[in-house]
Amino acid sequence: MNDVIAQISKRSREEILKRVSEGYKKPDFCRVETQDPVVHIQMEENLIENMKTNMTNNKFVVHDIKPEQLYDTINSITRERNARTLVYPKDIGIDLKRVESASQLCFDTAIEDIRDQVFNTDFSIINAFAGVASHGVACVVSTENQPRMLSLVTPTCIMLLKKERVVKSLVDALHKVKSELDVLPTNVLFIAGPSRTSDVELVTVFGVHGSTQVHLILY
């Protein structure tokens, strides 16, 4: 039986490679751009409003604010959640002195050195690379300056997203990653709100594999 399977696999592989080789030799052979599946999704014309609606449906807590309201919004969230200890990435890009907290930990070293601190921190603040209107998800890239773990380990995760970084589709978000970054990240995450599962008796439980509450600050 194994010999038969091996022969079938060999013939299939040879046929595929033959067609690819012949395709490059045909003068009329041309590459056709794949259609973005977003064309099949009904959307509002206003991408920001479309994203906010979908994110809310995905159980994000969305804050649509003016830039000057950023720190008041962050502090309002942490007071409501009674979140006192913060972990943040090296390239957070905000004035952390204006963020109310009992302690602040920069994730700028190996996790083995700060594991206990990170896993016992109340909230994280991270930058979202883009927001995807079609699906209501946040695109977060994992880099040396912003490790993937920051979106997973704290009970409350606060994501910062500038309004000009809202795109229409998942494909647009990936094109943005490739066009703006010199080196592709090790991980590109599309986060659809807080972690959840319905594996046990179809009852939705939040916070199983990540944050129980995710705030998206759109400014």
26-83 confidence digits (pLDDT tens): 677 677 788 899 989 999 889 999 999 999 999 999 999 999 999 999 999 999 999 9
∠ CA 198-169-140, nearest 5°, is 65
Q: Which residue would you say has higher pLDDT here, 66 or 209?
A: 66
d(CA 155, CA 163): 25
Cα dist from 77 to 43, 73, 122, 186, whole Å: 30, 6, 12, 30
pTM score > 0.85 for this model? no
Residue 156's closest CA among 214, 102, 77, 86?
214
